[in-house]
Homo-oligomer: A and B are copies of this chain.
């Protein structure tokens, strides 16, 4: 049982936006270049984050994406749910009830019991991830309790400049 690759990308995007000067939206071109994935697909991904109100999009010239909230207020769970939808691991189709159908038991009883067990397990998982914020990730990774802010648009320009220069030599 794996989450999708999209989720990994979404987390990257969120941490990236978290270290971005809030006044300057990051263009999707910059995100694409960083993540090195399919540009059009990443746009779709971005849309999911926008719809779930985790990032805002600014269209037009100098447009792009910005975090809605402080990284301290964005949990990993929110990102997961934006990308994957609600988490419910048990693929319930009621199949279990056919096992019990000959034992005098209320219909759906097996289904209910099973669904509850998995819901409980899922709740443990989601509750924990709800406590983990994007800021926590940055703190732990950078080893300090502050988030440094930079402008990815410029950072990326350098990179692409380099890549434009190198091949010509």
Bound CA–CA A129/B1 (angstroms): 14
Residue total for A at the interface (Cβ-Cβ under 8 A): 55
Decide if A9 touches B142 in the complex (CB within 8 Å).
no
A89 surroundings in chain B (CB, below 8 A): 1-3, 125
Chain B's closest residue to A108 (CB) is B141
A21 surroundings in chain B (CB, below 8 A): none
A39 within 8 A of B: no
- A-side residues, CB < 8 A to B, are 1-5, 7-9, 11-12, 15-16, 19, 34-36, 76, 80, 84, 87-93, 95-96, 98-100, 102-103, 105, 109-110, 113-114, 117-118, 120-122, 124-125, 128-129, 132, 137, 140-143, 148, 155
